[in-house]
Structure formats: C-alpha cells, structure tokens
Amino acid sequence: MNFTFEPLNIPDVILVKPKPFKDDRGFFLESYKASAFKEGGVTDTFVQDNHSRSSRGILRGLHYQKEPRAQSKLVSVERREILDVAVDIRKGSPTFGRWVSAHLSEDNHHQLFIPVGFAHGFYVLSEVADVTYKISAEYDAAADRGIAWNDPAIGIDWGTEAPILSNKDKTQPSLNEADNNFSYQERL
C-alpha cells in the first residue's frame, strides 16, 4: 500500500503517511487515492481544496463550521513545516476538549485527517509555509466559527506564547462559550 494510516491519541484523527518513491530526479507520491483512504478508515468525500501561505509565527485557528455545513479536513504541507492541531469539540465525547497534534512538512509528506466535530488550527514553524487541505463541505461564512487558540481549558502547547493572529482569531470565545452544535456519536 502507498499509505500508512495511524490513529492518534484521539483515534478519529488519523495521521496519513504517503509513501514517496524517490530517485536522483526527485520523488513521486500519491497524495490521495479514494480506495486506499476508504480502506484506511477515511470515507469522507472531499468537495473543495484550499491553499494558504503563511509566514513564521502565524497561528491560524482554531476553526470549524457548524452543522449542517460541518467540514472534515485532510491537511498537507506543500512547502516547509507547521504544527497542525485538532481539538475534539463533540459534546458527550470521552475526549471532549482534548487535542492532538502532528508536525507536517514538505520533507515528511505527512497529512492529518481531521473529522467533523473537531476544531482545527496550525502554527507555522518555518520561514513560510504553504498549507493545502481538502474539505468535505464548501466554505459557508454563516456557519464559520472558532475557539480561542489559548483557551486554558484546552491547554494546547503551541511552542509559543505570542503568535501572530488575525483580528478574528484574537477575539474567539473559549470552548465552553463557543457556538458549537456537535454531539458525539459512537462508531458501531
């Protein structure tokens, strides 16, 4: 198989490791293959691709879209390196308010699958980073929500106390105050 799928400490979040084929010309890898992802536990259908470029020290997040426009994401780094973070915001979940992270880079080619019911954010570790992600629902400004990046109830270790934030991300509410309509559904 050209992919390895590793559930993280919150098993619904999956670290995907594509297998690059390298030679003296460079490399080739499959970054997404629906049949392999289905076999690896990622059955979502992706309908939109996004690309963001950010400089060192920028933190984007924590973002999500409410139901019925909720999004799962498959996050990759095309250039340089980020710390990618997912927070479980599904009410009633045994891991509610917990977070997991992964270093994604152009060198390791890793991807992070973040399912519906999670807030997502990333912190840029390199001089610049190009981040791409597939999402399962189109962007809808009316459903767009967020949570404070530094909510002490979550306690994410971003590796910084003073990231560069957008005005929107400077004023996000805490997890307990967030407008969130996700409920935990145990998988059968």
| Annotated catalytic residue within 103, 110, 133, 139 | 133
What DSSP designation does 175 have? Answer: G
**Is 133 tagged catalytic?**
yes
Question: What is the radius of gyration, based on Cα positions, of the chain?
Answer: 16
CA distances from 98 to 46, 86, 132, 136, 150 (A): 25, 9, 24, 23, 13
Determine the Cα–Cα distance for residues 118 and 97; give it in Å rounded to an integer: 9
- Given a contact cutoff of 8 angstroms between Cβ atoms, the answer to whether 179 and 145 are in contact is yes
From the list 181, 180, 13, the residue with the least C-alpha distance to 111 is 13
| Annotated catalytic residue within 32, 51, 63, 184 | 63
Determine the Cα–Cα distance for residues 20 and 87; give it in Å rounded to an integer: 29
Paired with 112 in beta bridges are 15, 75
Q: Is 23 exposed, middle or buried (0-12, 13-18, 19+ CB in 10 A)?
A: exposed
Catalytically annotated residues? 63, 133
